[in-house]
Amino acid sequence: MKHSFIDEYSGLDSFVHRLDPRTKLLCSLTFILAVVLTPAGTWKVFAIYLLIVLGLIWLSQLPLKYVLKRSLVIFPFVIMIAIFVPFFKQGQVAASYDIGTWHIAITYEGLAVLANVIVKAWLCILCLIVLSSSTKFEELLHGMYRLRVPRVFVQITSFMYRYMFVLADQAMTMQMARDSRNYGLNRGNIFKTLGNMIGVLFIRSYERAERIYAAMLSRGYSGEIIVVNQLRFRLPDAYFASSLALLLICPAILWW
């Protein structure tokens, strides 16, 4: 079975694609930090950040539609976390309802916080999409490794990427096997089989992990990960990093 990749457009060849993964990782981190640390309600600053991301998308030749579509995945999570804020935040009431004995009020301050959270999360995810679509996953891991991200973490990420699709294949096969035997099940049974499937997937993954570890030991693994090829910072990396830093400082100079 075929699946799409996380790094679907990473094979393109653009200025951003050619940068050292470490530059891209550090720049993304800086960008995210800047977004998170910007005070709520400074919409002009957020507009500049959005322009920066759009600029990066253009520079890396990624299809805008693809990036925007991908960025939608963040909304369910953000909304799940922040949807109740407008109800709890104290402040000027925008609307209020009476349901039975309950009194529910939405405040303008609460709505502002919600908007702020959504905008920040969206800007961050856009930046991360540009990062992951302009860098091959291996390079990204390599960059993380060279930036001294804990090795265990890099390795877990690597295994995740390697076996994610294997796991997805297994899940899909099991689903097909279930569907070809089941018709007209009621809801309760569906959840029960779903629970069983998750359990089986877990046990299979656990056993696979043991076999992989045996395969690693067989080839002399001793707990250390050694990476072969080398990365090198070049002049464009310096240009890119310094211009991004300037752009991020810009709003601070202009408005504070």
Residues at the interface with another protein (CB under 8 A): 137-138, 141, 158-159, 161-163, 165-166, 208, 211-212, 214-222, 224, 226, 228
Q: List C-alpha distances in Å: 74 to 78, 86, 140.
A: 6, 19, 21
CB of 149 vs another protein, minimal distance in Å: 16
Residue keyed to tokens 């309802």:
97
CB of 28 vs another protein, minimal distance in Å: 20
SS (H, E, C) 181-214: CCCCCCHHHHHHHHHHHHHHHHHHHHHHHHHHHH
CB of 211 vs another protein, minimal distance in Å: 4
List the structure tokens of 18. Answer: 């050619």
By beta-carbon proximity to another protein, the closer residue of 146 and 208 is: 208
Question: Are 4 and 225 within 8 A, CB to CB?
Answer: no
By beta-carbon proximity to another protein, the closer residue of 148 and 211 is: 211
Q: Find the largest Cα–Cα distance for the chain.
A: 69
CB of 155 vs another protein, minimal distance in Å: 10
By beta-carbon proximity to another protein, the closer residue of 108 and 161 is: 161
By beta-carbon proximity to another protein, the closer residue of 93 and 209 is: 209
